[in-house]
Amino acid sequence: MRKPLAFLLREAITFTTYRTVLILQLFSMVISLASYFFLAKLIGQNLIPLLSPYGGDFLSFLLIGVIFQNFFAVSQNTFSQAVASEQRLGTLEILLASGLKPWEFLFYSALWPYLLTLLNSSLIFGLGLLVFSMKLSPNIGLALLSFLLTIISVSGIGMISAGIILVNKQGDPVSWFMGMLSGFLSGVYYPVEIFPPWLQGLAQVLPQTHGLRALRLSLLQHAGWEAVGSEILILLAFSLLTVPLGVLTFRWAFRKVRRDGTLGFY
């Protein structure tokens, strides 16, 4: 337990050192929530036909998308950002030479970003429920299953990105491409049904699309297996594909930089 606690303590000390940033982040979050509320009041009625499968409430639809997009972003970016940060500081080679296994480095480096995102999302969720009257009818079990499978499948893509950064040092086309498509195509801010058929088809190649649909139906409509089972099976397939591919990519990258002697370079 000492290794993960050491990583958490290091990140917590760094984070609390910059208190002004923390205050500004909290203020920005409240302003964003208020913006979502008034945006929902403005356009919610116009989108009810497309939102009817999700309960018809645009604010609830939007907040779930925004909250879980934060988790998707962490899963996709935290591994590559950890590698890049240690490369810039010149500490990556020291860490990995200290007996820390590469998978331990990736896993422990992700603990703080996930914890911070969990706290941030819990606060947004609480404010959404208590202040902005977010409407829920949750099926907790299926919502958690959908959430976990989505995080796992996106984390596999994140490990691929980390391997690319380990070799290239800068410039990660996988993370850039997935990040750009995710916000646009996966239905974070609007239902994917608003797209023309060819874009709806393209959206299906993203695990986030299936994860968000399953999450929203589970949380807003108390959907059962018959409604979200196909999405969960697709997420399972994504996980079985992306995680092994991510592990193999990172192992290949780690062996390559060690062989080339560029592990500590930036």
pLDDT digits (tens, 9 = 90+) for 226-261: 999 999 999 999 999 999 999 999 889 888 877 877
- Domain extents for the chain? 2-42+55-260
Question: Percent helix, strand, coil in the chain (nearest 5)?
Answer: 85, 0, 15
Which span out of 115-119, 134-138, 221-225, 261-265 was modeled with the highest average pLDDT? 221-225
161, amino acid identity:
S
What does DSSP assign to residue 201?
Answer: H
Identify the band that residue 11 occupies on the pLDDT scale cut at 50, 70 and 90: low
Query: What tens digit of pLDDT does each residue of 177-218 get?
Result: 777 778 788 888 888 888 889 988 988 999 999 999 999 999
DSSP H helical ranges for 169-260 = 173-185, 197-203, 207-220, 225-260
85: tokens are 């940060």
Half-sphere exposure of 148 (CA within 13 A, CB side): 6
97: tokens are 């030479």
- The structure's pTM equals 0.82
Contact yes or no for 217/211 (Cβ under 8 A) = no
Q: Tokens 């202040």 appear where?
A: 131
Lowest mean pLDDT among 51-65, 116-130, 165-179, 186-200: 165-179
Radius of gyration of the chain (CA): 20
- Mean pLDDT, the chain, rounded, equals 81
C-alpha 106/C-alpha 108 separation (Å) is 6
